[in-house]
Amino acid sequence: MPKFLTLNSKIILMLLASILMVLVLVAGVFSMLISDLHQTSAEDDLQRGVELLQIDLLSKSERLLDSRRSIEQDEAILASVNLIARYQQIKDYQPLLFDPEKELLVQILVRELQASDLSFIAIYTSDGEPISFYDRRDNFSGYISYKDSKPVAMLYQPQKETKVLNEVPIFLYGVDMHILEGTQGVHLKIHTARKDLIMESSSPLMKSGKDGKQEIIGWLRIAYHLDYNFVENMANRSALSFAIHRAPVVNKDGQAVHNEGTFFISSKDFDPIGYHFDEQVHELDFEHPGKLNPHFVHSGSYYTAGVTLLTEYSGRLTAVFGLSKSQLSSN
């Protein structure tokens, strides 16, 4: 066997090495092109998901306002609320007079809600105390009576005996009494008792007083629940993973973690906790809608896009769409 390669052998080896280098280079370029193609395709899908969310929430916002305007002018509702506002005395409560009136209000509220796709409706006194309510999600309706000057929640069941609840449902409290018309829009709120998000609108119920001036006799509150069912529905419609969450806390090791104060609802098997979106993420504005430019983060196992949802009292939430990189690569 020769100790040294012949000139021809060296030339052949150099050619083979050159071909191998070209193949490696082509493979690298091809891999980069495929990666860029996947990212571009993912961002297009994520952008469509964000636009779908915007359309859905804006549509809900418009339906809330339309329903509110219709209900707050309902003469039957105004008549019952006016009677309660003028004559109800908690210290000398007359159940035979006021409970039937509140039951009538419940029946009207149930009818109004069932004719729409709203989740919740309630009527309050001018001081913000609940009168009658209906929650579609739990098919839960009732009114507030009084015994010994203390509120008693009554569960209304058509054609059945009214049942006394152990306590007034906590979700009834916290009605926003925005007197100025410019502040009576649509707001997002975190429901701390149920750990879900609510899109709601409240407005005063008005009636002419003896002097002819309009006065507030009560409050109307209507809402959508943006809960796990909403998140799953949005994920299915967009064919993406979806979550709404508040920015998590960071532990001493610099890792993002959930804690009791972290608001988080997500579609199945998706947790965007490790995807950090800065405070400049585009905000979805109900009153001044425009083209949303989501913030893309592609670290980890998902391509993701986030937009900000601003709540009334709980700061910013981030709505995140995700597309699994492994899922995209296998297609």
Give the pLDDT of residue 265.
84
Residues with Cβ within 8 Å of 103's Cβ and at least 6 positions away in sequence, in order, are 132, 143, 156, 162
* Average pLDDT rounded to a whole number, residues 126-139: 90
pLDDT at 329 over 60: no
Summary mean pLDDT of the chain? 81
What is d(CA 276, CA 255) in angstroms, rounded to the nearest whole number?
A: 11
What is d(CA 295, CA 47) in angstroms, rounded to the nearest whole number?
A: 10
pLDDT at 27 over 90: no
Give the pLDDT of residue 274.
60
CA-wise closest residue to 135 among 154, 115, 155, 120: 120
Which residue bears the tokens 């009554």?
154
Lookup: tokens for 26: 């082509």
* Average pLDDT rounded to a whole number, residues 214-240: 92
Q: What percent of the chain has pLDDT over 90?
A: 35
Sheet holding 295-297, edge to edge: 264-266, 241-245, 316-324, 302-310, 295-297
pLDDT at 310 over 60: yes
What is d(CA 222, CA 202) in angstroms, rounded to the nearest whole number?
A: 7
243-266, pLDDT tens digit by residue?
988 765 444 455 555 555 567 788
Domain ranges of the chain: 42-56+229-330, 72-226
Please work out, in degrees rounded to the nearest 5, the angle formed at the alpha carbon of residue 50 by the alpha carbons of 301 and 275: 30
Q: Are 47 and 238 in contact (CB under 8 A)?
A: no
* Range of 91-95, 136-140, 191-195, 252-256 with top mean pLDDT: 91-95
CB atoms within 10 A of CB 311: 16
In CATH terms, is domain 72-226 a member of 3.30.70? Answer: no
56-84, pLDDT tens digit by residue?
999 999 999 999 988 888 999 999 999 99
pLDDT at 288 over 70: no
